[in-house]
Amino acid sequence: MSGWQKALISTIFLAAMLAFGYRQTQAPGMDAGSELDYPALIRHVEVIAAKPHPIGSLANRRVRDYIVGYFESLGLETQVQKTTVVYRHPHRTGSGTIIGQVENIIARLPGRSQNVVEAASDLVVMAHYDSVPSGPGAADDASGVASVMEAARILSNAPPPVHDVVFLITDGEEAGLLGAQGFFRQHPAAKNVGLVLNFEARGSHGASFMFETSAGNAWLVDRLIASTPGLLASSLSYEIYRRMTNDTDLSISKGEGFSGLNFAFFAGLSDYHAMTDSVENLDKNTLAQQANYVLETTRHFASLDHWQRAHDDLTYFNLWRGGLVSYGQGLAAASGAGVLLLGLWLFAAALRRGRIGPGSVLTGFLAVLSVFLFVWSLFENLLVYLRSADAGMIRIVSLGEWPLLAWFVTTLGLTLWLSNRFRKGLSKADVFLPPLVLVGLILLAGRTSALAFVVPVLLIPLMMILRSRSMRPDLWTASLVIWWLLTALVLLLAPNASYLFVWPLAAVLLGIAIQRRLPDGASRFLAGLIACSVALLLLPPVYILAYLALGFAQPQILMVICSLSLLLVWPLTRSIGSLADGKVALSLLGAGILMSAVVVFGRGFDTRHPRPEELFYAIDVDRQEGFWGSQDARPGSWLGEFMGAGSRKANTGQILPGYDRQIHIRDGDLPAYTPASLTVENERVGEGVREIHLHLSAANAGAYVNLLFAGDAGIETASVNGFPVAVPERNRDRAMGSQAPDSGSWWRWRWYGLPDAGADIMLTLPLGSPLKVRVVEIDDKLPDAAPPRPANSIRRPYSWSDSTVMFQTVVLE
Ligand SMILES: [Zn+2]
């Protein structure tokens, strides 16, 4: 076989495996034979996600009524649980206090064993109906709610299952998992719960995955795989997810000790919590897949006689859709130990036979290190540039998977070209050109820190050593050793994620053992390709998903891992890299850079990819003044033109103490408004303390209210509507007189879904001290005088955008 033939076959194989991997991350098409009524699913999403419907808003109440009406029309016993929830995370402690008035929807499908008193036998099928204020929430989580509604229709028309099924549609998830806390901690039915299935979204398309389980998942996962053909799941995602700070309602049920499974899709992150999370942008195939998961898992678990709880966790992953492999901890440990031993044995044998030498492996490490440093620095500088450029990160995120492809091709070209140069011997230009390119990039990115220059400066001596050595660097063995070490590390730290390292390494090592026995020629080349196929089957979907789910922030790390993976499958990439003395690799690098330039500079904002911009209106109730404000007034944009030259700099701290961000403000005419009111209802004095009964009310439905109590007020106990609120340590210390008063600090409460009748607050304080409270109400609309937004601009998520912020200081003597 000629070099060109080998390279062509390798390229086609690599591209095909990448395309196959990409397909695994996409939702399959709808199943024409399914019982699911797809048009009905879409209609539910249309109604629920017609507009933003955060907790407490009028739109939220309409959605609630729609869902309740639907469950009742199915003949299900349906109730709305209305309660006050004081946020408490199962294991994290936050600085502020979150309080919400939630309205959970609970519909029950009775099972056959309903008259048998059996504890912990209810199956809870959960999704949340509230959205964020900044988006209609078609994916997050109308997709989940619609899927649960459709499954409820099908199951209520079928013979009753064994277990009761509780369709729990929670409220206030976005405000802090409030509805789930209301149900699992307060509702009497919570004690009957045996198993929880939760359905979520963090994007607008892509395949849905079962990404999280409760601890001891062996039995659950085993049954789950049996329940749903074509299921996508991976024990790696759970290992990653549990190390992140993200939460869903399942965090609460798990925290209360309930078993559970969590499903979500997450491609299209730019639509997450944005106005573009609309029914038009929700992938209908994704919706269909989510609904199928709800139906199949609910039907399966509800019909099992007994649920079990295992002590151990399974390793599970898809080789391809439908090809789900699972095994227990014993096999995970044995396969890991086996591949590590095989590696050691092959390494020792190769050393003994003189196929590899200590010198060439050592220079191989230096060469691999140089490749990694170059790749890392390249993408790190790109990131610095994107962060400083006008909406650079937003643009990149809105392009979905395309930047990943551009960056991968760049990394591919760079890795192949550099490794070929290292093996062939470096020229003087090779030594100095790469560091110079990096210096140019650092200057282009506009950074001034000396730290950025460490990598290019470090590269020069490294490259000079590699140029001077007569020992040809063995990059492949060095990469195999690195992969071997990573395998050992992951086996130790997260055994259920180790499959991702164990099987690719095992296949490559077995390939080496077999290749040695084959004659040099076509059969040897093909054996090499087959040895690489496990890595190419397992790794690409994981890298694509990692990029989509969490990698935008750290592409430089992902690209170093890609580079290492390309060196791992060296039998495949060698033939491409060495072709035409590295010129093919160089052309790949050029193509990658061109593609990167297109994704970085190529597109502005349009209706599908609008620019998030923040504009809010603030009213200083004490001074009777109003002004427009924004954190991101950019000249040239719609917002920049509106704010104009007349804007001046200010700080959000003057509105919400402790919230320190720079803003631009511009004077505006004061509209008619009704601020929130905080009044003393009652006061009682006894035993050195006074007890104050306060009443908080707001005229605007959907507003959320920040209450900030002066840190030196010395509040000893607090409760809302009869529910206790934990007083932070520092406030208690102050109450006991052990610390100097810190007049600058405030204890912040965030109150969501304040009922029309208001809420009652009880506080106990030391005698004599006046109580200073800052009341900051965020009402989810702008005054009529607001400028109309163009179609390529949307309100910015996680901000005060499109709200009126009314702030006042109330002193209660
Ligand atoms: Zn959600």
CA–CA dist 788, 769 (Å, integer): 47
| Amino acid, single-letter form, for residue 147 | S
Position of tokens 């601009």? 793
Q: Which of 438, 50, 427, 46 is nearest to 58 (CA)?
A: 50
Instruction: State the average pLDDT over residues 569-581.
Output: 88
- The pLDDT of residue 731 is 59
What's the 801 CA to ligand 1 centre distance in angstroms? 20
188 has pLDDT over 90: yes
Q: For residue 140, which phi and psi values (nearest 5 degrees)?
A: -105, 90
What's the 128 CA to ligand 1 centre distance in angstroms? 7
Least confident of 29-38, 333-342, 564-573, 734-743: 734-743
Instruction: State the average pLDDT over residues 182-189.
Output: 96
What's the 51 CA to ligand 1 centre distance in angstroms? 15
Instruction: State the average pLDDT over residues 215-222.
Output: 93
Q: For residue 771, which phi and psi values (nearest 5 degrees)?
A: -105, 120
Q: Which of 549, 533, 524, 439 is nearest to 201 (CA)?
A: 549
799 has pLDDT over 60: yes
What's the 331 CA to ligand 1 centre distance in angstroms? 36
How much is the CA Rg of the chain, to the nearest whole Å?
30
What's the 202 CA to ligand 1 centre distance in angstroms? 7
What's the 486 CA to ligand 1 centre distance in angstroms? 34
Q: For residue 116, name the pLDDT band (cuts at 50, 70, 90).
A: low
SS3 676: coil
What's the 44 CA to ligand 1 centre distance in angstroms? 17
Q: For residue 620, name the pLDDT band (cuts at 50, 70, 90).
A: very high
What whole-number percentage of the chain has pLDDT above 70?
A: 96
What's the 137 CA to ligand 1 centre distance in angstroms? 8
What's the 201 CA to ligand 1 centre distance in angstroms? 6
pLDDT tens-digit map of 398-413: 888 899 999 999 999 9
Instruction: State the average pLDDT over residues 205-224.
Output: 94
Q: Which residues contact 467 (CB under 8 A, 6 or more apart)?
A: 425, 426, 427, 428, 430, 431
CA distances from 514 to 347, 478, 518, 521, 673 (A): 14, 20, 7, 14, 80
Q: For residue 417, name the pLDDT band (cuts at 50, 70, 90).
A: very high
SS3 101: strand
- The pLDDT of residue 742 is 46
What's the 174 CA to ligand 1 centre distance in angstroms? 6
| Amino acid, single-letter form, for residue 215 | A
Q: Which residues contact 636 (CB under 8 A, 6 or more apart)?
A: none
pLDDT tens-digit map of 34-74: 999 999 999 999 999 999 999 999 999 999 999 999 999 99
CA–CA dist 616, 632 (Å, integer): 11
741 has pLDDT over 60: no
Least confident of 158-172, 265-279, 378-392: 378-392
702 has pLDDT over 80: no
Q: Which residues pair with 189 in a beta bridge?
A: none
User: How far apart, in Å, do the first and last CA atoms of the chain sit?
Assistant: 92
What's the 697 CA to ligand 1 centre distance in angstroms? 28
Query: The tokens of 409 are what?
Result: 């091709």
Position of tokens 């109440």? 61
Q: Are 265 and 203 in contact (CB under 8 A)?
A: yes
743 has pLDDT over 50: no
What's the 127 CA to ligand 1 centre distance in angstroms? 8
What's the 34 CA to ligand 1 centre distance in angstroms? 26
What's the 212 CA to ligand 1 centre distance in angstroms? 15
Instruction: State the average pLDDT over residues 65-87.
Output: 97
- What are the start-end ranges of the E strands in 611-758? 611-613, 616-620, 625-630, 648-651, 662-668, 677-686, 689-697, 704-710, 717-720, 723-725, 746-752
Q: For residue 737, name the pLDDT band (cuts at 50, 70, 90).
A: very low
Position of tokens 């990943």? 404
What's the 640 CA to ligand 1 centre distance in angstroms? 32
117 has pLDDT over 90: no
pLDDT tens-digit map of 679-688: 999 988 888 8
CA–CA dist 716, 764 (Å, integer): 6
3-state helix, strand, coil in the chain (%, to 5): 50, 20, 30
Instruction: State the average pLDDT over residues 245-268.
Output: 93
Count H helices, E strands: the chain? 24, 24
CA–CA dist 415, 292 (Å, integer): 42
Q: For residue 551, name the pLDDT band (cuts at 50, 70, 90).
A: low
Q: What is the mean pLDDT of the chain?
A: 90
What's the 58 CA to ligand 1 centre distance in angstroms? 19
Count other Cβ atoms within 10 Å, centred on residue 119: 9
What's the 100 CA to ligand 1 centre distance in angstroms? 17
440 has pLDDT over 60: yes
Instruction: State the average pLDDT over residues 308-313.
Output: 86
What's the 200 CA to ligand 1 centre distance in angstroms? 5
What's the 173 CA to ligand 1 centre distance in angstroms? 7
Q: For residue 768, name the pLDDT band (cuts at 50, 70, 90).
A: confident
- The pLDDT of residue 324 is 92
Q: How many angstroms separate the most distant Cα atoms in the chain?
A: 96
CA–CA dist 635, 647 (Å, integer): 11
Q: For residue 520, name the pLDDT band (cuts at 50, 70, 90).
A: confident
What's the 199 CA to ligand 1 centre distance in angstroms? 8
Note the residue count of the chain: 813
Count other Cβ atoms within 10 Å, centred on residue 259: 23
* H or E stretch at 274: none
